[in-house]
């Protein structure tokens, strides 16, 4: 069973996908626009996204680019377009698979299963990571869990990736270019992507840009994480013992 987001503006196709995926024991949420899809992946964890290209607000290729800016969830493109050049471009842009309409529900289910196998296998190959501590913040990369003063933090996938990357380098100013390359897997991009995620992360850590506790931005340089002043220097970074 998987958690699936269906991004499709055609109500008939959308209803059919929801029905068939639900019958296959998947948990399904659905939206009809690219902006709604971005809000969904920012607030919920999905195992796979099925993305139509002919959306009313943004072309699906632009939606894919924006999705890749905030999440690494597997994306299956589902569209009537069958131009080979377009398919190759989308796969290179971050799509994990591509289905040309019309397609059978069995075909879609098989593609979902294949994408999930690849995603889980890639996760299984990752070496165990030590638990990281920065002041009252605990980050467990292996379990993908984070706690602040013993309370579990509800983070999106990209928020966790950003927090874990910074927590592994306490006190070090990480350039924005490095954050884009390592967290977003992009060689270039808009600084606003980082700023938005930092804002969301700060809110969950109980701080603001004006009154930071853990996350500190050095204008024109980068971002660093360090324990609040009241926590002192003990317990900064490194594996939990």
More confident residue, 60 or 30: 30
Where does the chain hold its CATH 1.10.10.10 domain(s)?
A: 132-225
**With pLDDT > 90 as the criterion, what percentage of the chain qualifies?**
38
Q: How confident is the model at residue 51 (pLDDT cuts 50, 70, 90)?
A: very high
Establish whether the linkage from the previous residue to 118 is cis, with ω within 30° of 0: no
pLDDT digits (tens, 9 = 90+) for 121-151: 655 555 555 889 999 999 998 888 999 999 9
Q: Which residue has the higher pLDDT, 124 or 112?
A: 112
Bridge partners of 78?
99
Which superfamily, per CATH, for 2-122? Response regulator (3.40.50.2300)
| pTM across the whole model | 0.54
Mean pLDDT of 170-182: 88
CATH top-level class of 132-225 = mainly alpha
Task: Tell which phi-psi region holds residue 43, choosing left (phi > 0), alpha (psi between -120 and 50) or beta.
Answer: alpha
Q: CATH 3.40.50.2300 spans which residues of the chain?
A: 2-122
Look at residue 217 and give its three-state secondary structure: strand
Chain-centroid distance of CA 113 in Å reads 20
**pLDDT higher than 60, residue 195:** yes
**Residue with more model confidence, 238 or 103:** 103
pLDDT value of position 237: 43
The helix-helix angle for 157-167 and 191-204 (nearest 10°) equals 90
Q: Are 59 and 53 in contact (CB under 8 A)?
A: yes
Cβ(141)–Cβ(132) under 8 Å?
Answer: yes
Burial 62-78 (b: 16+ CB within 10 A, else e): ebbbbbbbbbbbbbbbb
d(CA 95, CA 78): 11
pLDDT at 240 over 60: no
Please check whether residue 131 is in contact with residue 240, taking contact to mean a CB–CB distance below 8 angstroms: yes
More confident residue, 192 or 239: 192
* Per-residue confidence (pLDDT) for residue 106, from 0 to 100: 82
What pLDDT score was predicted for residue 68? Answer: 83
- Cβ atoms of 3 and 46 within 8 Å: the answer is yes
């Amino acid at each position: 069973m998987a958690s699936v987001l269906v991004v499709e503006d055609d109500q008939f196709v959308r209803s059919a996908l929801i029905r068939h995926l639900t019958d296959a024991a998947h948990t399904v949420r659905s939206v009809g626009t690219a902006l709604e899809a971005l809000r969904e992946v920012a607030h919920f964890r999905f195992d796979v996204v099925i993305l139509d290209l002919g959306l009313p607000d943004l072309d699906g290729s632009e939606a894919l680019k924006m999705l890749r800016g905030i999440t690494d969830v597997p994306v299956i493109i589902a569209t009537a377009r069958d131009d080979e050049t377009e398919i190759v471009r989308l796969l290179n842009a971050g799509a994990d698979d591509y289905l040309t309409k019309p397609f059978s529900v069995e075909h879609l289910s098989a593609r979902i299963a294949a994408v999930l196998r690849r995603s889980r296998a890639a996760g299984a190959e990752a070496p165990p990571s030590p638990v990281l501590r920065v002041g009252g913040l605990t980050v467990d990369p292996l379990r993908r869990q984070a706690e602040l003063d013993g309370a579990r933090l509800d983070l999106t996938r990209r928020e966790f990736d950003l927090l874990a990357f910074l927590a592994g380098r306490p006190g070090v100013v990480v350039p924005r270019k490095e954050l884009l390359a390592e967290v977003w897997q992009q060689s270039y991009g808009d600084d606003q992507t980082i700023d938005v995620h930092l804002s969301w992360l700060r809110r969950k850590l109980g701080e603001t840009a004006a009154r930071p506790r853990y996350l500190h931005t050095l204008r024109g340089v980068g971002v660093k994480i360090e324990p609040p002043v009241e926590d002192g220097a003990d317990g900064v970074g490194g594996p939990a013992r």
